Structure 1
Amino acid sequence: FAAAAALFVVGVAERNPVPILVGFPLLLAPIAAPLVGSRAAPTAAVRGEVRGTATEVAVEYRIAPERPLLPADLRVVVPPPGNLVERAPVRAEIDGRDLLLHLAWGAAEPTVSVVPVPEVGWEDPLGLVVRPVAATGDPLTVERYPPELHRSGVVRLEHTIPLPGESRSRALGASGEFFGIREAYPDDPPRLINWVASARAGRRLANEFQVERTGDVLIVLDARPSSLGPALDRRLLGISRAAAYGLADAFLREKTRVGLAIFGEFLTALPLSAGRTHRLRIHQLLLATEVAPVAGPAERCAVSLGRYYPPGMTT
């Protein structure tokens, strides 16, 4: 706009119509440019996928704008999370009415990071007006775990149950052994029902199993700020989150109950449990964990742990 005004002034001062003719379209462009795009709030559907192994992280996005927006007019910003670095420029290509983005990142350290939905904007063909576009999609997760996790199998767990090595469970597993027959509950799955015994007794009876369990594990994650600074604190927390989830996943596969405690200013406790649902709870809690704004005293952590978990656990 300033350049167009300068050309207009020069043309009037020198009585030369050429600068006026050149600057006049530029003066009207900011007014006409918003009329080119969609008058309503534009939207775009975003679908992403994370690929790659080890330190290589390849992220691909497919962005489908609504009509009449064109994919060539979209401007997309996808900053890498804190623990990832950009290794190559973003490569964009057009596939029909979709915009494809290929990002090459690197994970030099273990991390469990969330990649938010990209910021999408529409820019007019002259590059004078940029309007935000509402991007609809789901965040992506980048998971890279430390190679030392294979050593978790050598950890000797402290037994925290009355009869070490045994615990009743109604869940079938690879190491489950028959324990007895009991009255069936309304929510028992069909695979637990003993149909032969039920037919003889005239009522629903279910099998009960006992599974081997070596002990309980408590993972404590320190999310307090330190004197190292916010940037390094976030980096170290990303490594800790990856190690915590990797350890939890390894022990849950061995039918061990796992608890997770995160201490920042206060303690956030996830009780001892096992199974796929508990693995999902741990994953979601770790993804939502950030560095606390204020550091709580260590005494508060010790007292809070005693409220939620029994003594003698492997921590």
Structure 2
Amino acid sequence: MTGTTAGLTVHAPDGVPEVAAGDDLAALLVPLLDLADGDLLVVTSKVVSKAEGRVVTGDREAWIDAETVRPVAVRGATRIVRNRLGLTMAAAGVDASNVAAGSVVLLPLDPDASARRLRAGVAARAAVNVGVIVTDTAGRPWREGQTDIAIGAAGVTVLESFAGRVDAHGNPLAVTAPAVADQVAGAAELAQGKLAARPCAVVRGRPDLVLPPGEDGPGAAALIRADGGDMFGLGAREAVVAAVAGRPEDRLPFGAPASAGDLATALARTGTPATVVGDDEVRCAAGTRVAVAIVAFAHGWEIHEGAADLSIRPVTP
């Protein structure tokens, strides 16, 4: 199946055999592909995991627990978690589809390393310089449905910087770093399909994204925000519960301490007038301690006792 748009072509070949632990992916894929310098080879994480022996038996829920660093949100049977790779995904990326009953597929131990090995294997067998992207499927906040994203990459520019550039009207570009590796992953998925047994695709037309031989780049890990750096580190319900509980170990998903002005504004919205004393202190009436403690926790601050009022100060990282 091939799709073409604005000079970009995507080809996903049929005939890829079932992959088993220990298989050499480069040896399996190169004979099926017409590769050229500057191509992007996109492979699903599932075939990478199968080749690396990441198919395991046992209870899926137990494996989700094992792959989870912390929960983000739970709605019924659906668990959104931050997994050991730093990815925020449903079920930690543990997949029970297209595998024998009683088995599940775990994500590769190090998808960027997997991409580097495949890139080197392709170069050795086909004498071409390609970029490699390892993909998996993920949902998106605010949007229905799922799409493929890059979870591993080698020899690829994963973020295309537009910092300092302007549009045709002289306006600064608001989006300074398009996630081009994710865009390539989504384009490849259109040709691969979900049920067509096409676990790889070649995307041609963006040789500018492929790094020179010997340069693998930062990998797809560069696309992951640090825990606490995202505005949505917890689900809405989970954030309320965490703020009320006020456990120190639950501070990280709320991010860095907010400014004194932002905290004072938030307190005012709860009916608690507050005064900004300085960059590192906000004061309010002592009679509102419980509400203040909850709001302060969610903003990275904490209460310090005062004589007739509450002194609130940012938590030291």
- Fold match by TM threshold 0.5: no
TM-score normalized by the length of structure 1: 0.23
Q: TM-score, normalised by structure 2?
A: 0.23
**The structure with more radius of gyration:** 1
Higher relative contact order by CA 8 Å / sep ≥ 6: 1 or 2? 2
Higher strand proportion: 1
